[in-house]
Every structure is written in structure tokens, then in C-alpha cells.
Amino acid sequence: MLYLRLLIVASIISGLFSCSSLTREEKDLYTITEIDTTRVSTIQNAPGTRDNGVIFPSSRVITEERDMVQRDSNVFRYYPNFIRAGFFESIGTIGGSSDFGIGTGLFGIMPNFDEVSSSNRGGTGKVFTGGIYRFGIFEWRLRWFDDSPSWTYGISAFEMLLPDARGENLLTGISPFYIRKRIFLKDDIPYLTITPSFGISLYPSMYVNLATSLDIGSIGGLNLRTYVGLALGYNPPYLPQIRNNDFTKEGQSIVFPYFGIGASYLDFLNVDEDLEIEWKDYKHSSWNVGFLQFTLLNSNADESVFAVKDPQSAILKGFELKLANANIALPILDYKIYAGTTFFSVLTAGKNNYAISVLPIRIGYWHTLIPNELILEPFLEMGYYPMYSVNLGARLNLRLNEIFNLSLNTGYINASKDLSLGNDILNNLGISYDFSKFYIGISVNFYDRLFDKTELRYFK
């Protein structure tokens, strides 16, 4: 429970930083002056006769009036105010004890799910013995060394460095502070950089993290990284162990050299020059980038997954949840073909009919029916871990604004479970069987941005 509370506090910190520091507002004050001049010309001839042989003074009278009105006008401009803003980063590491390896798998998010349990203490024969996990990553420009470029300072709202399965060796930090320097090997999207970093945490664990990474990204908020580093830390006696709430009688010192392969999701990177580009002129690479898609489904499953009185005749049989989505435009058919993935998704067609996917591969076609409003999106999505699935479907997306949209989803999914899932998962979802189901549903998508052709960098 302690670590859940720490994560909640970190999420609040992350939200505060994202709301206040990711956009820079500039205001220009103009004074508008309007001048109106009116000229009236009249001829007033005296009554009576005149001798035309004599030159008379002109009888024309000109009246001129000038009015001036002044008013102030404010023009607001909005710019990105961050070098990096990310939702989640995970790294599978090599460097902990080989006797207590977790086997976190590639990117630190592909463990052996049949071993998932709160009491797991690891074992031998694991390639990736541990992992590093960061939530709420923010970096801002650091103007050191006579405004030298590519220096940043920042925080992670919550960070975990886990050498192996032993919870007493876990280093956790709320808002650890980092300084980074990026050396660009490729200075156009997707960027390729070497990034040395120095990090320090004071609570709840005290540690220093020295690392260098080779980064490629960001495109659609997706990044790949390899790390080599050294963490030196200390867990005070008051810090409960992660596997139980017993307080340690003595502090625990941890030395954690590591090599890691990681990825980050909804993680966006700017270069220094991007901070001078207005948001309305910003460069985008994806048709869709979003945080959460949630769908209520009807299918031809025998029973509903929901607890209803009559699960066999229920209208709603299941649901689909997708977290951290990205559909990247490819240079095929005028960039209408896209390749996409999702950090984590679960589609439940009915009771005991679910498919879990981590980083599934998705290929689709982006067809705009009404610009900025209605998009048709046929797709093929293949899940390979921890369960095999093929999902052939289509989405009709209705854009409400830049944050929210609705979708009508339909498709056919075939899924099989060729490996066991841990007891912690089965206790919540139950056992899934091989299944093939048709489905249709309505989706509500939160912080899910649909882009128009005019917003992509390929057409600017």
C-alpha cells in the first residue's frame, strides 16, 4: 500500500508540472489608432446681381472635422516550453543478481506472465534480471556554459530502480532530479542522440544514478533506448520492503551497475529550436496519438463478462481498453498507410474470452471523410505477447476537440492462449479459452488526438 500511495503522490506532482510548465505564453500589446477626417464643401452666393467683370472673393466654404479613436489589442502566442515530456519509460536491465532474476524481458515489460505473483523472488537463467521504470518525465532547457545547446534539467514524478526480484534492493524516488546533455548524431526526426545523465533522489530512497544512453525518437511519442549505468543507493530503516510491510531493522546499501534496453511511450522530445515554434505551426508525424481508449462491446460470445442477472442475453458482452496509442504515418499512398502500436491493450469479447497484448503491431489506412471531423480507419492488429491474437476491424472516428473523440468500432478477433498467466491475473480475469468472435461497440477516447493532413510535417 505504501508504494501505491507513493505512486498517487507522484501522479499528482506529474499533473501539476504538466499543467503549469509545458506551454509558454507570450503576449503582444498593440495600440490601434483609427483617424476619421470629414470635409464639407459649400458654396454660399450672396443674393442679388453681380458684375461679372469684377473679380469677387470665392463664396466656397470648406469645413473639416477630424476624429481619432484609440484602443488596445492583445495578441497571445503559445509555444512549447519543454524539451521532453513523457508518460512512461520502461527498461529491462542486466546487472542484478543472477540467482534472483525477475526475467522482465525486452523493454522491461515482457516478463514470463506465468510467474507473475506478489511472492515471486525470481530465479536463475534470466537474461533481464531487473528493470527501471519512470512515470511522468519532464525536462526543461538548462542554459549552462554561455547558453550551450542541448543541456536540460528535469524530474521524473516517480522512478523505480529494481536490480532483481529482491524487494529490499528496490530503489524508489519521488521527483528525482536529473541533468542531461544530448549529443545529436542525427538532428532531424527521428532524432538519434547520445545522452549522458546525472540523477539524484532524496526520498524515499537516497541514490545517485549515473548513466549514458543511445536514444532514437521521438516519433509519435515512441522512443527506443539502450543504457549503461551505475546506481549507488541507500534504503533507510524506516522504508518498508516492497514484498511485505515489515520495517527493516537496518538500512540497506545498494550498488547497481546495469546495461539496459528500454522504450518510452507518449514521450515527446523537442530540440532547442522547437521552443520558438508556435503550437499551431508544430510538426507532427502521426495520424493519432492518445492516452486512453475505452470501448463497450457487443459480441456473439455466449456470456457477458459483466455481473448481470442474465449474462447470456446481456446487450453488453465485453469491453476493450487501450493505453498509450500511436499511429505513425508511413510514406505510402500519400502517407495514408500507418503503422501503430499500443503500450497495453485488453479486449474482452465475453466471459473467458479475452486477449491481452503488450505492444501489438497495427497496420491501417487513414481515410478522411470530413476534414477535422470524421475519419474512417480500417486496420489489422496482431498481438504476440503474452497472448496471440489477430484483430481485423474498422473504426469510424468522430473528432469532438483536440482532447476527446468518439468512435464506432467493429471487427473480428481470433485469439489463443498458448501460455499460462500468473495467479494474480487469473484471480481477476479468470481463465481465457481460444475464441473467434465478431464484435461491435462504441468507444470514448480521452486525451486522444486525431490529426488532420494539414498538421503533419510531411505536408508543410
Averages of pLDDT over each 10 residues, the chain, 460 residues: 50 52 83 79 64 58 77 85 95 90 90 71 85 96 89 95 89 95 93 97 95 94 96 82 51 92 95 91 92 95 84 88 96 95 94 92 96 94 92 96 93 83 67 91 95 89
Tally the domains of the chain.
2
Q: CATH number, domain at 447?
A: 2.40.160
Residues 403, 426 share a domain: yes
Residue 93 has a pLDDT of 96
Residues 433, 292 share a domain: yes
Residue 59 has a pLDDT of 63
Residues 322, 184 share a domain: no
Residues 316, 206 share a domain: no
Residues 256, 235 share a domain: yes
Residue 2 has a pLDDT of 47
Residues 98, 182 share a domain: yes
Burial 128-137 (b: 16+ CB within 10 A, else e): bbbbbbbbbb
Residues 351, 446 share a domain: yes
CB 344 within 8 A of CB 387: no
Final residue before a domain boundary, out of 275, 294, 317 = 275
Residues 248, 201 share a domain: yes
Q: How far apart are CA 288 and CA 292, in angstroms?
A: 12
Residues 438, 302 share a domain: yes
Residue 41 resides in a domain: no
Place of cell 525536462: 139
Taking residue 126's Cβ as centre, other Cβ atoms within 10 Å add up to: 24
Residue 247 has a pLDDT of 46
CB 209 within 8 A of CB 185: no
Sort 70 into a burial class: Cβ within 10 Å, 0-12 / 13-18 / 19+: exposed
DSSP 115: G
Residues 450, 327 share a domain: yes
Residue 437 has a pLDDT of 95
Residue 245 has a pLDDT of 46
Final residue before a domain boundary, out of 211, 245, 275 = 275
Residues 297, 173 share a domain: no
Residue 17 resides in a domain: no
Residue 293 has a pLDDT of 96
Residues 289, 163 share a domain: no
Where are the extended beta strands (E) located within 270-416?
A: 286-299, 318-329, 337-350, 353-358, 361-365, 367-370, 374-383, 388-399, 405-416
Q: How many residues does the chain have?
A: 460
103: containing domain: 2-10+82-275
Tell which residue, 134, 158, 165, 174, has the closest CA to residue 242: 165
Final residue before a domain boundary, out of 222, 249, 275 = 275
Residue 246 has a pLDDT of 47
Burial 323-346 (b: 16+ CB within 10 A, else e): bbbbbbbeeeeebeebbbbbbbbb
